[in-house]
Structure 1
Amino acid sequence: MFQEADFKENLSLALSEVLDDIGVNERLVMRRRRQDMLRETMGKIQCKVTVSNITVYHLGSQIEGTTTIGLSSDCDFLVCDHDYNIMQDWSEWKHGKKNYLMIQDENTTPGYCFLQLLQPCVPLPVTVIPNENHIIDRSGRVLFKNTTFNGFIPGAVDHGPSNAIYAGPGFCDTDNVKALPCKGWPQSASGWLERQGISRWPTQDMRRYAASTGCFVVPTESKVSEYPELEWRISTSLAERKLMFDLNITQIRCYVLLKMILKSFLNPQGEINISSFMCKTVLLHCIENTESSIWKENNLFICLTYCLLELYSCVQNDRCSHFIIGENNLMAGQFTAEKKHELSKNISDFLQNDRQMLLRIDIDDLGLRLQVKLNIVRHGAYYYQSSLAIHENYMTNEYLNTANCVSRHHKLVLEYLHTKNVRTMKHCIGKLNTFNVNGNRLEQAAFKFLAPCVFTTYGSILASFSIGENNQVSPEALVWLSADISSSRLKLASVFYSKGDMEKAELILRRTEQQFYSYPVLHICACWDTPLPAVTAVTAEFKRVCGEQSEDCIKHITAFCVRFIQKEINCIPHELQYEMFRSPQDDMIHREENVVHWMDWAVVDSLPFLYFLQYKIYSHLQRHQDQQQALSKLIRTIETVENLKHRETALNILGQCMEQDKRPQQALNYYLLSLQHRARNNVAIIHICKLLSGLLAAQ
């Protein structure tokens, strides 16, 4: 008996060490959560600045830190549309909103509801069907169909309530769920606020906080619904996320192990018999109904067994009660009798042979690592990644995603601003500033990432106006242009170049180039939906910096593309101004939907732009040797840097350098290379026409 207890404790400790090694440890979980929350907050700020009524919440395993590289979990997003107001009581009606009353009666499945349309100007029901997204039921109520938002993301695949995007290599697959907000806590979950388990977890404070998050309704029906087109599921996603954030590391590891077992033995070949959400629900029930002292590293194996026994009981009884809305049975209508028997047998087999089965888990080499920890196989006989390498890979991926998020939201802000007047722009800048002055710590951190790009654009617009009027740059513009990131410094250098102050421009470029050589730098650009650099393709030095340093290092180790909207036209060399007119009428229809706006801007990767500006400045300063060195660096950058996102633009400005150098044949070659890289919406065709016309005129 004592030997068995010792073995379970040794196995628990070995499992804990293995999960620690593959990244399921407190430090890495907290760092990953921080980055995901930071990206979510950037999205919220961007929506506020651009007057969007959408909030995108990050949910699921990625933001919880309850996944591993081998589990390959999706990124889950809940897209909340605040144009809608979902009411549980008539007092919650709001003027001008799309008001719907939540209906729960004998016709709805527990945990689900119908949505009855109300009038926007007075709190009364609508009695006439307004469009094909509504129907009238037998009681005369106008009800909202849950098929309304099918395909709300172009190119996505409808998968239950979500629009799934299977992104391919280099991307995380995403599940995007459309949601409508309800400020009140669901009445069907009121009992949870008073429920008290053995562990006294969650605490009453946590329950009250959860209630303050309200709920959502999402467009999907129960498996046993009699009205599949009309039911909407009541979701308490934010409350559930808060609960997951409160788990200790042993509880998180237990959940990760459950998902590994699920993927390895219960859902083979990608089937979804038992969902990871069911496993999460089982875990939460087990935590609530056991003493908190049990959930320790040396008890991990026992905790896992307890959760599997509870899961087995759920399958046997065809019932897995939602943790918060207890009436909602997650397994209702989920399995056939045959599938239920198969799953019960598989779980039972695992429980009877649990130790051997754990050793067979291939995900993240868990089984092999466990054998090494238990001295079943000799250490060094097999290769797997070190814990340090895994930590660095995780943080490299997190920081690259955060940098890409900055680039994407900067682009979205510019798309909003590019048609606005300066007064409106200043108002947007003011809204952005409020997040620094009045925001919480997370909002202030998100502000520090977003503000430099947006402020620099505003300063460049002010400079463009003043350069156009009197060839001067106002002190106010220079203040806005003072951000300490490479793309901002390059904009400032371009402003001084356009004003004719070559000495100041050259000094800024020299310092910026030194910084490029001080850190291992990667180019980041969200203009195109192209994958981030693979972690395996990133240098060891870059990964080391990501693993060791805080998120502040992102501004040094990444370089954003430099974007100029048309209002900045006086702040860029004339060679780059052509990029704002890249599309003949025939090419307009070939623009991808997400690049419509920026193709009317001048956009260039940082390093090619730096060397191009150096080439132009040294020409004006008559430093011909430095000028040719800059040209050589520009050529080498285009030829050797793999992840340039605007390579065609770099080739176009290189071609114009060759024209200035009186090398028309090489210029033509670079323009043709540019067209090979991007055949349409490419100003290279204009450069070729100009070049050939000039050559013919000279004959």
Structure 2
Amino acid sequence: MEFTTSKRANTERNQNHETHMQIQEHFTELSIRLSEVLDNSGAGKDTVMVRRGSYLWLERMANLHTQLTGYNFECFHFGSQSEGTTIPGLQSDIDILFSNNSVNIMRVWGDWEPGMENFMMLHDETTPPQQYLLQVISKETQKPETGLCDDTVRKDSRQVLYSAERYLSDLENTAKNIAETTKSGPSVSFIPNWDMVYAFHVRKPLHEILHWIDRCKCRHWPPVLLLEAASVSPCFLVPSGHPDSDYKREEWRLSPNLIERMLIFSFNMTQIKCYIVLKLIKKSLFAKIVGDSITSFHCKTIMFYTMERTHPSLWFEHNLMYLLLHCLRMLRTWLRFGRLPHYIIQGVNLFDGKLSKVKQRRLLVYIDSMIRNNLQDVFNIDIENIGCRLQGCYIRRIGQTRESERLFVCNSINIQLNYECFKTFLGWCKRIIQVNQINNSNTTFEKTIQYVLRNAVECSTNARLKNVALVFLKHVHRLQNSMQSSDCLRLRKVVTKQLIRRFQYSLNTDVASSHLKLASVLYCSGHIIAAVRVLEDVERRFHNRVKAVCECRSIEGQSDLHVFANMSSGNSDKGFSESPFSLCVKFVTEEAYCVPTILLFEMNRNITKEEVTLRTNVEILWMGSAEVDARPFLHYLQYLTYGGLSDRDNQLHALRALGSYIYNIRNINKINLYHLETALNMLGHCHEMEGEYDRALDNYEISLGICGTNNAANWHVRRVLRLISG
């Protein structure tokens, strides 16, 4: 809908006058109450900024991954998580887009690049708005390709097109080699709750974007600086066709994700809260009427139009309910027209393929009712007890004030975000090493690590990647130190003080795992007193609210907010002095000489070759290593070191602590024991050394009850039975 400048000004003046006449008195009180409820549900400013910061940090880590693995991609986290426009109850997915830099998208022949994959964007009167076909152009000459290959099809006009459907199929087949894969629209993901989209970027100015910028000029929103940034921002072509198109299998959809992210980042807190409430209404109320046909993107578009047509002076906390009402009126208008236009790209109806005419009428009736009832339905929002909190019937903890509740929730979500960030970071680290190991299969693993370290140091000079590169370097440096220590012990050389001192650089990666690796090196090299001191230091800092983090295994409920609420409840106002997480301790085969002997069996878990075939794709990546939870390993090392010093009292205390941790009857440790079978194997070995063979066998049998195959307990049972039989 186009306005002249004068008409627009008159319209805005009329709207502002009507606004002050229409805002009801009880709306002001309810708006402030709703804003407070959102603060206490994880939509406060501090949490929004932490959430944004976490996912933008992970975005840089993903880009470090592409740099160090040789993949020519640029990575972007989009969607609610990176925008900070979600709360835990919305259970928002994580969206990541990989843009392929090795592909050159052409608008005109002058855009052709020699030696690259060149695709010409095609669009005519038969192609739906926002959709494009990609014509394959030769790498060697500025001529269209004429021959077909696996990913191409021929159009009626004899043009060879790059097929979006076949591109998705190739991605799906590749992803299946990594893990179980889910496909949804343009997303092909091998990580649960992630939407992973692979796309091509378009760097040249597009007439769709320039038209939108011209339309928005001289308006109070979007701001001028944002429009200037949008004019040079790349857009993306994602493999997704229009549902009613003749070429939907070949079509690619134009997506201005970066511009949309900039628009969201320009929101103030009232606008963010309004957007979150729209999503709460969509998920809690609209879903009962039309299922999942209304999406977060519909809500985002409604917000864009509302902000464009509402004066900035209204966007304050005490007007939240009126502004929400204004958004719903906007949606009602579009439902009456039977179309919701894309905010940026002209001619696109966002109801197409999502909301049928029947559902549009059904939703229109419901929204009419909501508006007539002055939004009383917000009291029925059951997510995060929003409705109950608004009615004042929500019961807080004894002695908890509104402010203390807000801080408690904020701290809990912040710890949860740190946990998810840490776990995802570990996944990227592991993939960097694995890909480089595959790419350098002709060299030793140690040389691969050296190669990765050199490249990571180079990346640390990049201002954008410096922070993530330095954290990554600490983790890889720890592995290199341990491998070099193992090599010294293998050659019967002394582990030098210089090598031991190098461990200090990576000791603060987490609460315990780096310290435990150092203690293991000291124990295996005969420095038992030094090992005991390190273990005593670990035990002092290993408080009972430390959360275990495992990259290779998951436990149901490990990421639930109440887990982190319990961690937060024991936290002081000043916060944790260090990251409250502890990694599992992992030893690869190149570290074999600085590992207690019993863990060498973990590197050879299978009894038969058939067992190896039973391993999942994820298990294949780590089962050749010894991986153990930090807390049980702490007590096991204490048992060994105190035994080496003939300190019988402390040795037996360590044995009791290990058994108590594993068999905690209150099940407190359920979400902190990822490798229970390995912990039981260590406990069984302690009983072996005590000469208690029956108790050792009991622990091994329980271990086998958890994992019957690919479990080192099979070896231990055989060994103990031989000892018993003499």
- Say whether residues 1:689 and 2:718 are aligned partners: yes
Decide which moves more: 3-12 or 65-74. Answer: 3-12
Out of 405, 425, 431, the residue aligned to residue 412 of structure 1 is 431
- Say whether residues 1:137 and 2:166 are aligned partners: no
Name 1:302's counterpart in structure 2.
322
Question: What is the distance in 2 between the residues matched to 1:15 and 1:547?
Answer: 28
Structure 2 counterpart of 1:191, which letter? Answer: H
Change (3 A) 1:193 1:393: same
Q: Which residues of 2 match residues 158-169 of structure 1 at below 5 A?
A: 158-163=183-188
Superposed displacement of residue 634, structure 1: 1.7
- Say whether residues 1:465 and 2:490 are aligned partners: no
- Say whether residues 1:613 and 2:637 are aligned partners: yes
Question: What is the distance in 2 between the residues matched to 1:83 and 1:138?
Answer: 28
Task: Give the 3-state SS of the residue equivalent to 2:699 in structure 1.
Answer: helix
Task: Give the 3-state SS of the residue equivalent to 1:143 in structure 2.
Answer: strand
Contact persistence 1:452–1:488 (CA under 8 A) = no
Superposed displacement of residue 400, structure 1: 1.9
TM-score, reference length from structure 1: 0.90
Contact persistence 1:648–1:675 (CA under 8 A) = yes
Decide which moves more: 667-676 or 477-486. Answer: 477-486
Name 2:3's counterpart in structure 1.
none
In the TM superposition, what whole-angstrom CA distance separates every residue of 1:627-658 from its partner, at most 9, and x where no partner exists?
Answer: 22222222222223322111111222222222
Superposed displacement of residue 288, structure 1: 2.2
Name 2:651's counterpart in structure 1.
627
Task: Give the 3-state SS of the residue equivalent to 2:343 in structure 1.
Answer: coil
Q: Which residues of 2 match residues 307-318 of structure 1 at below 5 A?
A: 307-318=327-338
Out of 197, 208, 212, the residue aligned to residue 228 of structure 2 is 208
Name 1:224's counterpart in structure 2.
244
Task: Give the 3-state SS of the residue equivalent to 1:126 in structure 2.
Answer: coil
Question: What is the distance in 2 between the residues matched to 1:475 and 1:91?
Answer: 62
Structure 1 counterpart of 2:596, which letter? Answer: P
Structure 1 counterpart of 2:134, which letter? Answer: L
Name 2:697's counterpart in structure 1.
668
Task: Give the 3-state SS of the residue equivalent to 2:350 in structure 1.
Answer: coil
Name 1:47's counterpart in structure 2.
66
Contact persistence 1:111–1:234 (CA under 8 A) = yes
Name the Cα RMSD after superposition.
3.0
Question: What is the distance in 2 between the residues matched to 1:612 and 1:381?
Answer: 39
Name 1:513's counterpart in structure 2.
539
Change (3 A) 1:239 1:522: same
Out of 478, 487, 507, the residue aligned to residue 500 of structure 2 is 478
Question: What is the distance in 2 between the residues matched to 1:320 and 1:414?
Answer: 46
Q: Which residues of 2 match residues 493-508 of structure 1 at below 5 A?
A: 493-508=519-534
Decide which moves more: 98-107 or 236-245. Answer: 98-107
Task: Give the 3-state SS of the residue equivalent to 1:538 in structure 2.
Answer: helix
Out of 428, 441, 455, the residue aligned to residue 431 of structure 1 is 455
Contact persistence 1:100–1:117 (CA under 8 A) = yes
Decide which moves more: 39-48 or 234-243. Answer: 39-48
Q: Which residues of 2 match residues 79-94 of structure 1 at below 5 A?
A: 79-94=98-113
Change (3 A) 1:621 1:14: closer
Superposed displacement of residue 522, structure 1: 1.5
Question: What is the distance in 2 between the residues matched to 1:380 and 1:400?
Answer: 26
Out of 359, 366, 383, the residue aligned to residue 346 of structure 1 is 366
Contact persistence 2:130–2:345 (CA under 8 A) = yes
Contact persistence 2:584–2:628 (CA under 8 A) = yes
Question: What is the distance in 1 between the residues matched to 2:141 and 2:492?
Answer: 56
Q: Which residues of 2 match residues 70-219 of structure 1 at below 5 A?
A: 70-131=89-150, 133-148=151-166, 149-150=168-169, 151=172, 153-154=175-176, 155-163=180-188, 173-196=193-216, 199-219=219-239
Task: Give the 3-state SS of the residue equivalent to 1:598 in structure 2.
Answer: coil
Superposed displacement of residue 530, structure 1: 3.6
In the TM superposition, what whole-angstrom CA distance separates every residue of 1:525-574 from its partner, at most 9, and x where no partner exists?
Answer: 01124445254653755124679566x8563x111001111111122122
Out of 560, 568, 573, the residue aligned to residue 543 of structure 1 is 568
Name 2:286's counterpart in structure 1.
266
Contact persistence 2:412–2:564 (CA under 8 A) = no
Superposed displacement of residue 614, structure 1: 1.7
Name 1:170's counterpart in structure 2.
none
Change (3 A) 1:203 1:678: same
Change (3 A) 1:544 1:239: farther
In the TM superposition, what whole-angstrom CA distance separates every residue of 1:447-484 from its partner, at most 9, and x where no partner exists?
Answer: 45433322200111122222222422246643542222
Out of 600, 604, 611, the residue aligned to residue 577 of structure 1 is 600
Change (3 A) 1:336 1:603: closer
Question: What is the distance in 2 between the residues matched to 1:647 and 1:381?
Answer: 34
Structure 2 counterpart of 1:628, which letter? Answer: L
Name 2:473's counterpart in structure 1.
451
Task: Give the 3-state SS of the residue equivalent to 1:603 in structure 2.
Answer: strand
Structure 2 counterpart of 1:473, which letter? Answer: V
Out of 402, 406, 429, the residue aligned to residue 387 of structure 1 is 406
Change (3 A) 1:121 1:549: farther
Change (3 A) 1:632 1:380: closer
- Say whether residues 1:357 and 2:381 are aligned partners: no
Structure 2 counterpart of 1:507, which letter? Answer: R
Structure 2 counterpart of 1:461, which letter? Answer: M
Superposed displacement of residue 222, structure 1: 1.5
- Say whether residues 1:36 and 2:75 are aligned partners: no
Change (3 A) 1:562 1:83: farther
Change (3 A) 1:4 1:594: closer
Superposed displacement of residue 600, structure 1: 0.6
Superposed displacement of residue 81, structure 1: 4.1
Name 1:61's counterpart in structure 2.
80
Structure 2 counterpart of 1:514, which letter? Answer: R
Decide which moves more: 587-596 or 117-126. Answer: 117-126
Question: What is the distance in 2 between the residues matched to 1:496 and 1:101?
Answer: 62
Contact persistence 1:407–1:524 (CA under 8 A) = no
Task: Give the 3-state SS of the residue equivalent to 1:23 in structure 2.
Answer: helix
Question: What is the distance in 2 between the residues matched to 1:93 and 1:371?
Answer: 62
Task: Give the 3-state SS of the residue equivalent to 1:99 in structure 2.
Answer: strand
Name 1:490's counterpart in structure 2.
516
| Gaps in structure 2 of 5+ consecutive residues | 1-19
Name 1:647's counterpart in structure 2.
676
Give the count of matched residue pairs: 682
Question: What is the distance in 1 between the residues matched to 2:386 and 2:58?
Answer: 30
| Gaps in structure 1 of 5+ consecutive residues | 168-172
Out of 246, 249, 253, the residue aligned to residue 266 of structure 2 is 246
Change (3 A) 1:637 1:8: closer
Question: What is the distance in 2 between the residues matched to 1:508 and 1:54?
Answer: 42
Question: What is the distance in 2 between the residues matched to 1:370 and 1:469?
Answer: 70
TM-score, reference length from structure 2: 0.87
Contact persistence 2:289–2:362 (CA under 8 A) = no
Structure 1 counterpart of 2:124, which letter? Answer: D
Contact persistence 1:211–1:239 (CA under 8 A) = no
In the TM superposition, what whole-angstrom CA distance separates every residue of 1:167-207 from its partner, at most 9, and x where no partner exists?
Answer: 5xxxxx33333323333344422223344356433233223
Change (3 A) 1:544 1:31: farther
Structure 1 counterpart of 2:432, which letter? Answer: V
Question: What is the distance in 1 between the residues matched to 2:517 and 2:396?
Answer: 52
Task: Give the 3-state SS of the residue equivalent to 1:523 in structure 2.
Answer: strand
Contact persistence 1:217–1:235 (CA under 8 A) = yes
Contact persistence 2:23–2:322 (CA under 8 A) = no
Superposed displacement of residue 94, structure 1: 4.5
Name 1:596's counterpart in structure 2.
620
Superposed displacement of residue 92, structure 1: 4.3
Superposed displacement of residue 214, structure 1: 1.0
Superposed displacement of residue 521, structure 1: 0.8
Change (3 A) 1:665 1:378: closer
In the TM superposition, what whole-angstrom CA distance separates every residue of 1:141-176 from its partner, at most 9, and x where no partner exists?
Answer: 211222221446443443322347895xxxxx3333
Decide which moves more: 308-317 or 525-534. Answer: 525-534
| Fraction of identical pairs, as percent | 30
Superposed displacement of residue 332, structure 1: 3.5
